[in-house]
């Protein structure tokens, strides 16, 4: 069984292992490699996808919204292992496209991991993690509107990545930063849609 992830770099390395051994990498393969019990790494995966150039694929925001909602709602109900439908698990990308994204993210990931440490842990443990899941439900419900506002899904992806990392390394300061990014993104969407 895989050891729990403790950094963004470890997540990228696990996904990178899949690209070396498979022509197509499915979400199911990635979830299995990072563990289907861990809310933080799954949020990191969603965030990386939305923040990366893959967010430019039409419909990606709506697809990732369903992923966010499924995982966050299950966390709110206290499930120990997340269930995901086959239509999500079977989605795949060619290994060379995925490897380009991983290479693009590698240097920023190393820098981010150097800064993170456990701080304000009450914000990301126990009750705090349920509050994060509730926020993710709200974000998931807003994501279809992000198709209409350029770069808003990338900003939401950055915030989801930050929340996932905050849960993994127990960094409450990072969780607060993610909330600021969510607030700015929500404001941007409202201003552009009104």
pLDDT digits (tens, 9 = 90+) for 62-88: 888 888 898 889 888 887 777 878 887
How distant, in Å, are the alpha carbons of 8, 26, 107, 149, 180 from that of 114?
A: 10, 29, 11, 32, 21
Query: What domain range includes position 189?
Result: 8-193
Place of tokens 């456990």: 118
Of 6-10, 77-81, 171-175, the range with the highest mean pLDDT is 171-175
Handedness of CA 98, 25, 61, 179 (dihedral sign): negative
User: Mean pLDDT, to the nearest integer, of 8-25?
Assistant: 84
**Has residue 3 been placed in a domain?**
no
125 or 38, greater pLDDT:
125
Instruction: Kindly tell me if the per-residue pLDDT of 120 is higher than 60.
Output: yes
pTM listed for this prediction:
0.76
Q: What is the pLDDT of residue 177?
A: 93
**Has residue 1 been placed in a domain?**
no
**Has residue 64 been placed in a domain?**
yes
| pLDDT band of 1, cuts 50, 70, 90 | very low
**Has residue 2 been placed in a domain?**
no
C-alpha radius of gyration, the chain, whole number: 15
**Has residue 118 been placed in a domain?**
yes
Q: What is the pLDDT of residue 143?
A: 83
How distant, in Å, are the alpha carbons of 16, 21, 51, 99, 150 from that of 56?
A: 21, 26, 9, 17, 9
Cβ atoms within 10 Å, residue 151 = 11
| pLDDT band of 179, cuts 50, 70, 90 | very high
The four Cα atoms 95, 101, 104, 108 give a dihedral, to 10 degrees, of -120
What does the alpha-carbon distance between residue 46 and residue 68 come to, in Å, rounded to a whole number?
A: 7
- How many domains would you assign to the chain? 1
Q: What is the pLDDT of residue 173?
A: 92
Q: What is the pLDDT of residue 178?
A: 92
The answer to whether the CB of 133 falls within 8 A of the CB of 72 is yes
User: Mean pLDDT, to the nearest integer, of 168-193?
Assistant: 88
**Has residue 60 been placed in a domain?**
yes
37 or 177, greater pLDDT:
177
């Amino acid at each position: 069984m895989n050891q729990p992830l403790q950094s963004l770099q470890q997540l990228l390395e696990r996904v990178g292992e899949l690209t070396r051994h498979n022509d197509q990498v499915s979400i199911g393969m990635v979830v299995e490699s990072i563990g289907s019990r861990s809310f933080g790494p799954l949020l990191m995966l969603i965030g990386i996808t939305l923040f990366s150039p893959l967010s430019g694929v039409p419909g990606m925001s709506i697809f990732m919204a369903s992923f966010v909602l499924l995982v966050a709602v299950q966390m709110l109900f206290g499930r120990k292992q997340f269930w995901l439908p086959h239509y999500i698990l079977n989605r795949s990308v060619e290994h060379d496209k995925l490897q380009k994204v991983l290479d693009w993210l590698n240097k920023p990931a190393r820098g981010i991991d150097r800064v993170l440490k456990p701080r304000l842990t009450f914000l990301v443990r126990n009750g705090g993690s349920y509050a994060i899941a509730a926020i993710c439900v709200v974000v998931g419900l807003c994501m279809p509107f992000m198709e209409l506002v350029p770069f808003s899904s990338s900003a939401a992806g950055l915030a989801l990545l930050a929340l996932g990392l905050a849960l993994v390394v127990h960094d409450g300061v990072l969780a607060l930063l993610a909330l600021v990014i969510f607030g700015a993104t929500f404001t941007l969407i409202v201003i552009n849609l009104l």
